[in-house]
Structure 1
Amino acid sequence: MKVGYARVSTVDQNLDLQIDALKGNGCEQIFQDKFSGVTDKRKGLEEALQYVRSGDTLMVWRLTTIPNP
């Protein structure tokens, strides 16, 4: 099973683009968070990691990196 995870940094941002992309790639279950990147607790991510089983694929829309100073 494909499981998706979507996250935005603020409650003002919209998850629709990410959710549409994850659904378009076959994700049957999608977990989400709307929190700052400095937050240690990400309930949606924790739920996704508890949900996935051996053989499942956890998908995200994209990964970004922050350059080191």
Structure 2
Amino acid sequence: MIKEFFSDEHIKSAGIELVGAYMSCPNDEGAIHKGYFIIESPDKETIIKFFGTMELLELREVKPFSEIAKTL
């Protein structure tokens, strides 16, 4: 299921670009794993639609540090 969900075809058809994907993988099999994704998308609704039924979804807009540093 995960391989299909994150397949190039599914990502492309969703209208997003997956820039990076990271997972926390605790040693305890009963522990909760967390995924962190860097996604380029036309809007947040497209991302929400892509992840659909996932229980916990937190979206945060990020910018390159070089852009933020200019304002400091």
State the TM-score, normalized to the length of structure 1: 0.32
State the TM-score, normalized to the length of structure 2: 0.31
Rg bigger for which structure?
A: 2
Considering fraction of residues, name the structure with more helix: 2
